[in-house]
Amino acid sequence: MDNNSIYVREKGKLRCVSGIVLSQHKSVSSCRRTNPFVVKKEHFIFTYNTEGSLRYSTKSLFELTLRFVADNIHHVDSLVGFPEQIGDKLFAAAEENRVFSNPDISCKALQLFSDAYGHMVLESLCLRNRFPLLHEKMDEIKTFHGLKCLDLFGCRLGDDHEMFQHLTSTSLANLTHLAIGGNNLSDVGLQRLTAPIRIMKKGLGGLQLLDISHNPISEKALRYLRCLPKLEQLDVSGTLLKPGADLKIRIRNLLGFVFSEKPLDVFDHSKCKTEGWAEQVVHQWETNSLKMPKLKKVDPSRTSSQRFFGRQKFVREVLNTSPLIHDSQDDVTKDCLHFFKPAAYNQKNSDQSPAEKKVIGSCHGVRKRKRELETLDKSHLGPSSSSFSAEDIVLLNSY
């Protein structure tokens, strides 16, 4: 049989289909370089009818174009402006072509989709007790700009992790739910995490839910949470805070939160899922990490990753990792320290009449002028006193 012809069986008879030229037996890369217009077998769809005859039909121009762009996604400059339906199909085609498993182009490809489609690429990411995956795919995870929910419970972040800088950047401006419990985070780490919004008024401004449970955090660190204007729910279970009436009063006076007698459902991590176009991509990363592939070359500037990588240490840390497990539901209820901002507190300003708001505004104006006069008097007497604490000044100088 001629290797350059296609034979089709129809109604029991074999005939040659003319006008179709197949590529020679060369490698795919060589074929593309020498003659890019050669017709390929994947351009056709072969099916059988009820009579057992082979039928073929050409794929649509859209499908051929989509496959071509997916194969060369690393050469695309931008997808901004393309419809969401096209982006969804293109992402699926790139995923089918295993583009996001290629370490050489995965970051650029994910960045390309995230810049154009934001939270559609990935809206929620759950990395609970998956610290090896976090460290191995740090660059790829940083490309997800549209995250609204991020669970980093048990990822061993400590007080000075490179992830903190990403959490407080403009890339995660839409973040509303953050779980950083079980990370050996102390007062210093919480101070560092909230420093950008306390000092420079940026980062974590839209955060509504925060889980800092099972960390060595004391009552001193609660003052760092006053800078989160939209925070409504807080989990401080398993910390150094001692349950009791005094703690409830302090948190009420400091943050305006009240203690929840029953565990809040929003802190039930069993409901946390990875959702978005890249859901299967993250699952594939996790599957590949369990197979323990060969180590890739690490940028020398990423010292934290260098400390992490190492075959024996990798295996030892995975085996020694064990999630927090409670013996019974009573233990869960007993240990829970969940606080929330009551609806009456949230609606206090909205329920005020215009006249009340005007009076309150005038009072604030009088107080503001008094403070300005006091500051002016102090400036003549000596250097102005800073509103930041000594710890904040040291932290500010480190930037």
Question: What per-residue confidence (pLDDT) applies to 289?
Answer: 78
- The Cβ of residue 334 has, within 10 Å, a number of other Cβ atoms equal to 11
Instruction: Considering only CA atoms, give the Rg of the chain.
Output: 29
pLDDT in tens, 101-128: 899 999 999 999 999 999 999 999 999 9
| Per-residue pLDDT, 299 | 56
Of the listed ranges 6-20, 235-249, 307-321, the one predicted with least confidence: 307-321
In the chain, the domains with their CATH numbers are 6-59 (no CATH), 67-280+332-345 (3.80.10), 358-397 (no CATH)
22-31, 66-75, 237-246, 306-315: the lowest-pLDDT one: 22-31
**What is the pLDDT, as a whole number, of residue 218?**
94
Label residue 56 by pLDDT band (50, 70, 90). low
Would you state the pLDDT for residue 306? 52
Residue 272 confidence (pLDDT): 83
Stretch 314-341: mean pLDDT, rounded? 58
Question: Is a pLDDT exceeding 60 seen at residue 316?
Answer: no
Return the minimum-mean-pLDDT range out of 12-21, 197-206, 241-250, 378-387. Answer: 378-387
Residue with tokens 């800088």: 165
Q: What burial class does residue 46 get, using C-beta atoms within 10 Å of its C-beta: 0-12 exposed, 13-18 middle, 19+ buried?
A: exposed
Q: pLDDT category, 346, cuts 50, 70, 90? A: low
% of the chain exceeding 90 in pLDDT: 50
Task: Give the pLDDT confidence of 203-244 residue by residue, as tens digits.
Answer: 899 999 999 999 999 999 999 999 999 999 999 999 999 999
Six-digit token string for 313: 């240490």
> What pLDDT does residue 213 have?
95
111 alpha carbon, distance to own chain's centre: 13
Give the whole-number percent of the chain exceeding pLDDT 70: 62
Q: Rounded mean pLDDT of 132-143?
A: 94
Dihedral over alpha carbons 277, 278, 279, 282 (to 10 degrees):
180
User: 228 near 210, Cβ under 8 Å?
Assistant: yes
Name the more confident of 215 and 360. 215
- Average pLDDT for residues 49-65, to the nearest whole number? 75
Average pLDDT over all residues of the chain: 77
> Model confidence over 59-98: pLDDT tens digits?
788 888 898 999 999 899 999 999 999 999 999 999 998 9
